[in-house]
Structure 1
């Protein structure tokens, strides 16, 4: 791979998660931003949805009167589209344009018709978030067109990068109106692959027998799949985040993508001097909440383990995590264990009784001591139902306690009031036993903070670890467990034994494991992985130039 930066005059990247923290794509873009800034200082412009109000402003966006001032002053955007220009408050502080797109809904039928005529996109079976995603990405495409018209792109290298199916209509619009612009489409997880797994169907043993179009009809995913497949084929460069998802894309979308693995920005991690103090503060917060719930002061050496991520009960392996913790309980660990499930769900508000108890020195066990926030649907939430089914009551004398945190840990949740990263550093281990995980940022984040982790061979990150280092805690801080379609119980037992190994490790061995975890994370820094994106830029630009000569 040629490591020299590609000459780019303008680089757009569009995502629903720009300044909008929902899932892993936010982490991809926000951590990649600084490295892109180093390569293309302020030539890269992120475009995201303006879904914020004065009462609920984005905590990640700072408006600016000078950013893109000249363009904004003369821009005559149609359909009531409005924009706010500023900076994304992440390392590198890249330029951001937030787009208000409500006016595009009234244009959707004519737009969908043109996309059908040009690219065969079937929007007839659309439902749910399809219209919203397409309205946003259509508006983003119009903004890109407007900026390109303003700066003039004749004989210039312009790349427009679109992430996930939610931005695919924007790519197709740009392909239509700006044929000289090089386009990149990244699928972080295929619509059909995720749906197959989410519906309880085996994906891996039968992948070669699945037809994406047929499964889209069976799973009522025709419009999303049609859109995603069209973008994958029309893009000058089609990418995905791991080899395991590349195989899935080739089968279900019928085009083999370029693999651009996800890196991490070390600036999110405290420096070595601050590390012990920050870790101690995190443990204090975690143990205080846990102690307040269970009604007794938990020991300082309590082993704290967690899983986190999107609320996909089977795909993210939350079911397997809970069953593994139950197996750990049966192994009679030598230390008290608190196992957190930090997964946002349909929660109403922080528990007032817990808020009242947190500052108190005298503690009594609260009702429902396994829950930090009130759920709107306690009888149908799969996580709380499974916790209670297994029998985690967090009673006095219980060596293993489970606590469900069903909210976003953004620093203002009403209980922890501490951001996720600032809590992660206080863990002793994490577990991410995913069934469907194209990359797996959560285990990478974990090792970056020096926290050993367990993941599976069905995650892109797990596959990367196996190709990079020896698969032991002592070698790299990670244990990658082989998971398939039909070995659930075996994996649960292996996770439990892995945690028992960490619990039993002495201080010297624990220090070594944490050090090896940090070292592994350094190998996944964006300073290394950005090369894959540079190669994707080159492929896209070469394709656009070839198209121009053919025309």
Structure 2
């Protein structure tokens, strides 16, 4: 298996004075998924080590780049010189800085600008590497066009009149992989590293095979790739993995997957981290938790209190989030554990309430009118109460100043009939005997949605007697959201726990983002993050990072483990929960890029030790 020793990794120092490093990713200045977080958050640590010898390369899409890219007219360095050579050859190349922390140099290549050469590009991939490409798939067209441009840029960069330094090219994921086999075929003078963050075929198989890990050793990769209609992408990924001088992935969990689906053992593991400095709230994390919890309270009152009330001081907020992959993301295990938790809390007579949020993305027609109307009417009730409060305040002060008996007068006498009537009518029109909806939007696929099917079939539908309430929000949380009016990071800080017992998760940023904000999190040993916690953080796994053991365990066993942990947590006192938050925040330092880039240094050193050809 790949080298992941802390001692070995810590000892590595890369000679940056005689090297240039380029990192290529589809999500440079182009946010579409988790790789964006990896690349962006790592930049400050890379700049600290490499300075101007570091440059990112990605695709140019105007609608995304205009908010994140700032062009420069300084072409004095080797990257700028290579850009000028590309432009002299007639290619469209954008050069400047990525507007993120660290402000790194960036080269953006427009794949559409060479669509007139797609026939040639596809012919070479087939003729040289036996990789076929259908003509109607625009993503594949973009990917292969970008690969041609990336290959051309790197070949200009290594020219002796541009630089005499060693050049390392680090490719992330299959979308930028098409350049690799051609670079190796043309014997380009640079070292190549390829990182797969999750094999494409593995993700498809895990979504469709409940025994994915058991069947992994016997998978016919080509047959399955053809079955899922991803043959070209899988062959591009395999060509990149086998063409790289150094092959890597993000976790031991995914390394095993690579052995059987890509048929190459990774040379090194590159765990994902965060720029923890961005999340540090010094000693304010408890105050921030209270601040954003109060905002969640506002939503919960609007959503639930029109049907029935419960004590918000005895309410806990759990959540899960991410791409809608019902089994892969562990939504199925989470729901089963919540149903068991609901029963146990009722049987034990626990008076606390758990509100569980499912934050994901599913197609919908609109926000549920009743949910939105309740939120609006809640604001009207608030405005009415504020007006009454002001009126009472003035009259109470006058009565107190002029009083001779020192008794508190009847406050109702201070409210005009208009406000009393408005107060009564507003409440009467708001209150209902209907149960609060478990879903906040009108889903397009309501009848076939797996989350809704479980909730309805298990009668976990926000009954008044349920101790566990459900809010399924099929859209991502943002400040423009009409229901929450807060961004995702604020929402996370306001919750008590994140729940992510994934079945398939090559790394898993969602629990890591929780602990960076001082929020306890659940993960699983089938996620790269959970596997790292168990292997590298001995003794810390119990400090607010709970790992559900799913490897070689049944679904029922996993659901019981999670239900046990949640049941234990709901019995914690407020003092216990605050102590746990403090422990969680202190453990987040382990995942700062300033610590984890040591693994990248290991990869770069290994690459430099390889012969170029």
TM-score, with normalisation over the residues of structure 1?
0.89
Aligned-pair CA distance for 1:13 = 1.4
Matching of residues 315-326 of structure 1 within 5 Å: 315-326=328-339
Partner of 2:466: 398
1:432 partnered with 2:500: yes
Alignment partner for residue 83 of structure 1, among 94, 112, 122?
A: 94
1:252 partnered with 2:252: no
Aligned-pair CA distance for 1:404 = 1.6
Partners of 1:242 and 1:512 in 2: how far apart? 30
Alignment partner for residue 70 of structure 2, among 63, 68, 84?
A: 63
1:417 partnered with 2:485: yes
Say if 1:145 and 1:49 are closer, same or farther in 2 by CA, change over 3 A: same
> Is the Cα–Cα contact under 8 Å of residues 343 and 406 in structure 1 kept in the other structure?
yes
Partners of 2:128 and 2:14 in 1: how far apart? 34
Moved more, 434-443 or 515-524: 515-524
1:275 partnered with 2:275: no
Say if 1:85 and 1:210 are closer, same or farther in 2 by CA, change over 3 A: same
Matched residue of 1:20: which SS? coil
Moved more, 215-224 or 433-442: 215-224
Partner of 1:359: 379
Alignment partner for residue 339 of structure 1, among 349, 356, 368?
A: 356
Structure 1: segments with no counterpart, 5+ residues: none
Alignment partner for residue 199 of structure 1, among 180, 190, 208?
A: 208
Partner of 1:530: 597
Aligned-pair CA distance for 1:234 = 0.2
Partner of 2:612: 547
Partner of 2:520: 452
Partners of 2:161 and 2:499 in 1: how far apart? 48
> Is the Cα–Cα contact under 8 Å of residues 276 and 591 in structure 2 kept in the other structure?
no
Partner of 1:172: 181
1:307 partnered with 2:314: no
Aligned-pair CA distance for 1:96 = 2.9
Matching of residues 31-110 of structure 1 within 5 Å: 31-53=41-63, 59=67, 61-66=68-73, 68=75, 71=81, 75-76=86-87, 81-83=92-94, 85-89=96-100, 91-110=101-120
> Is the Cα–Cα contact under 8 Å of residues 121 and 144 in structure 2 kept in the other structure?
no
Aligned-pair CA distance for 1:215 = 2.8
Matched residue of 1:476: which SS? coil
Deviations 1:251-290 (A, max 9, x none): 1111111211112211221322332332222212222223
Moved more, 427-436 or 346-355: 346-355
> Is the Cα–Cα contact under 8 Å of residues 175 and 181 in structure 1 kept in the other structure?
no
Q: Over aligned residues, Cα RMSD in angstroms?
A: 2.9
Alignment partner for residue 224 of structure 2, among 215, 221, 227?
A: 215
Moved more, 342-351 or 311-320: 342-351
Aligned-pair CA distance for 1:67 = 6.0
Say if 1:229 and 1:80 are closer, same or farther in 2 by CA, change over 3 A: same
Say if 1:357 and 1:537 are closer, same or farther in 2 by CA, change over 3 A: farther
Partners of 2:563 and 2:208 in 1: how far apart? 26
Identify, as 1 or 2, the structure richer in helix: 2
Matching of residues 362-401 of structure 1 within 5 Å: 364=431, 369-401=437-469
Partners of 1:440 and 1:503 in 2: how far apart? 25
TM-score, with normalisation over the residues of structure 2?
0.81
Higher relative contact order (CA 8 A, sep 6+): 2
Structure 2: segments with no counterpart, 5+ residues: 1-7, 383-426
> Is the Cα–Cα contact under 8 Å of residues 318 and 496 in structure 2 kept in the other structure?
yes
1:521 partnered with 2:534: no
Aligned-pair CA distance for 1:184 = 1.1
